[in-house]
Structure 1
């Protein structure tokens, strides 16, 4: 037996379980040049919400009544390919199916003896690469600067903060519970933390935590927290727009403060990106992250949910902040 998870409806606002459909399908057999894959770990990420909209973006939207796809670690069960053998583990953008075939395009072998397999979806995968290359290519972080990170207890945010400390910066993180603030300070060595849910005045809180202002702001949430960070940005500051989870489920486009005068008067750089903008540097980035991991300069946290049937709920739980670090489903 084989099961797939399809996108049944385009969500209006916050996704719901009714927006997904489980379908029993045939277990495929690999043809010449193909491999049969068994899904082992599934990455669920906020950006998938954008692909559920029928609109032009940097990546094609999901089609209704077709399987959702995301980053997946899979085991090669059968191989008719010269590039892969039975027992290999691979990482790739694959569909939410228990079993599927692939011609190998876009698949990368991963070594479970060097790091846990799930790490290749997180700190050694697109998550870690996003953090490193966002800081390197846009943030241009320098020793002694102040780095502010929103979504600081999430998968990308925790890596961003740790790289900031490796680079010799003061790092301040923003998260949504006291427990998460405690974690980013004790486990990930952030200097300060701000619980935005218990803070009445975010601009003032950032000013107190960053008395020398903010040189680089790594933004994972957008919205009012971005506005507060802008109020504290230094001259020639850099704002890295990585995500905007606070806005992903909005049904109407919100309006807020206009930042043009701040950008002009303070010569601030504000740039959005997707990690694939820097694809030519992926290999070097993974090597650097792996080195830091081996040197115990990087650590990571995962929230692992077990069961193929739990994938949609795990995705929905992202929008309630139920994950600590990377959200992964073990199949």
Structure 2
């Protein structure tokens, strides 16, 4: 905001310099030997009226200050021609001369008052628009942070219980599970604060999530994850896929066979398609809408904030399966985006 104010100050300075040069050029071209004092008086009147009124508009805005503004305006109008009269080279000996020059410069006073009002209104409009945009951006960021944080807490509790069981049984998988949980939490707490992350890192996080969920099942991996395209070429908003996968687990039958959850990631150019399909079994087909998950409305809301006009989320339920497909456009980084991102260890 301060940068915008400095730009306005620079504009004021440039405009007054140009105005002074034009006045000097005009008066000198007319052959007035006293053009310097005449021009200085005229410019001094303009500066005095313009900035006194500008200051008055700035500090009397709002309810209950109208009387103060009107009194200040009256004082500016009455004293506006004063700088010119003080600097004018000819002595004004009679009251008629004073009145004549005074009335003549009341017109220029009115012009500078109007220009001052226009400048103040323009600056207020620009600054208020920027403040509104900043507030909307802050609100959107706060909402995104809230939505992003809504990972089902039951997953964390269940994972800790599963790791406790592995440690109790001294299972060889226990150390790896602890590292995967640490990696998952590190990503959620620290790395996901970035606006976008490498698609490879998001997929690493998703794989950690899948591996920890697998602790609940005795069969071979229940998730069939297939990736096509080059993930290293894509960047995506963090924690975008996990809610769809979380609900696929939640709304699947308690017992899953190997490969029952089908996850597909396809990157073609700057278009990313993510789909997850889960069996429904005897459960009603109401995924993403029950308590405990983020909910389909919130998923759509976060996508609308992150990728307005650049995404589609389609739901395709059948008697046996439920498929959610998300397509996101513009997942390649801009040419200037060369800042390295945190990597997974």
TM-score by length of 1: 0.24
Larger radius of gyration: 2
Q: Which structure shows the bigger proportion of residues in helix conformation?
A: 2
Q: Which structure shows the bigger proportion of residues in strand conformation?
A: 1
TM-score by length of 2: 0.23
